[in-house]
Amino acid sequence: MTSPTSAYDQRAPIDQLAVGPLSIGPLTLDVPVVLAPMAGITNTAYRRLCREYGAGLFVSEMITSRALVERNTETMRLITHHESETTRSIQLYGVDPKTVSEAVTMLVAEDRADHIDLNFGCPVPKVTRKGGGAALPWKIGLFRQIVEAAVTAAGPIPLTVKMRKGIDADHLTYIEAGKAAAGAGVASIALHGRTAAEFYSGHADWSAIEKLKNAISDVPVLGNGDIWSADDALRMVSETGCDGVVVGRGCLGRPWLFGDLAAAFRGQELKAEPGLGQVINAFRRHAELLTEYFDSEDRACRDIRKHVAWYFKGYPVGGDLRASLAMVQSLAQLDDLLGTLDASLPYPGSDVEGPRGRAGTPKKPSLPEHWLESQDLFGAERLNLTEGEGDTSGG
């Protein structure tokens, strides 16, 4: 198993990499970087903030197809893009081909998206126990039906898929599912180098990304997992030959990572080393954008609380102040608290870098009863699956 911490002596020197634009159907990304959908994180506010720092494709939170078709009020807000988002990207989750097709048809007919991604990688128990997310590709016939229906409904809009290696080490699905997706006409395939059982623990298996890339020649393959820095992204491309990268937890509290990534893929030697003042400004800007997004200062302040630890990781911000920031109730209170910090303090070095977000530990995936007994889907199983599509957001 390979990882960003592996030896790289057998790869070409990083500075010799030539990574050009990435084509996803009719879309051309100057920088081959995609922001991974993260529930409760990649809303319009955070996407706008990341875009202000860098370039790439910035994808929405995971949206449940049934809730979209039923025009759930919260779901309709989640799919709304700011006018500055010139490439509107939405990720859908679903377990029923008809419902997914209807959701895609709606997005296209109402001109609500320029790119649609299907989630087959979510390892969250409430999703997999209903046969969705990372559990679904095991039922390869159903997987193929969903992707084919979605591609047909999308028409000229590029339809992509994101998935994991499989359910666990004994039930790997990524090669078969990748070939099925390519055959169905998807515009790209993104692979997270972990199984559902691994959740976010250990190291992502970059060799799986390389194997998928070697197995599929006519569709771009993007790699995902353990990209904590621009150097990690370049190393992933060098090691696996993938066409681009998908970045998730590595950008938590670090929207400037997208600036680093843009510079790296353009061959520029530039790395953000923000002092505390720059972090304060980014954190404050995030809260401001959340206020606009929610149209509620109170709700924005409640939402920004979960970002405190990520933004100030490694910076000399005391525990009492961190606790106060995590209980902030207004922008005025936020400004008062931030005003007590010494904005002149420099970038503290390696303490702010590296993994972030909860890694967790390997665990037995929650699956529908008898799910692993066959890759075929039987009548009763299909009826039970639709129960999992009731939530507003899948993650």
Residue 245, strand partner residues: 33, 223
**CA separation, residue 345 to residues 13, 276, 316, 338, 352 (Å):** 35, 5, 9, 13, 14
Query: What phi and psi values does residue 57 have, to the nearest 5 degrees?
Result: -110, 125
Distance, CA of 253 to CA of 85 (rounded, Å): 21
Using alpha carbons only, give the angle 92, 95, 99 rounded to the nearest 5 degrees: 70
User: Tokens 């004994």 appear where?
Assistant: 170
**Options 122, 242, 251, 301, the catalytic residue:** 122
CA angle 252/253/257 to nearest 5° reads: 75
CA distance 389 to 35: 24
Are the C-beta atoms of residues 207 and 178 closer than 8 Å to each other? Answer: no
Residue 21 makes CB contacts below 8 A (sequence gap 6+) with 28, 29, 30, 31, 32
The per-residue b/e assignment along 175-192, b for 16 or more CB within 10 angstroms, e otherwise, is: bbbbbbbbebbbbbbbbb
The letter for the amino acid at 20 is G
Distance between CA atoms of residues 8 and 26, nearest Å: 34
Only one residue has tokens 């370039």, namely 55
Measured CA distances, 374 to 87, 165, 181, 369, 370 (Å): 40, 18, 20, 11, 8
CA distance 129 to 20: 40
Q: Is 242 a catalytic residue?
A: no
Residue 287 buriedness (CB in 10 A; 0-12 / 13-18 / 19+): buried
Rounded CA-CA distance 210/183 in Å is: 19
d(CA 5, CA 60): 30
> Residues with catalytic annotation?
122
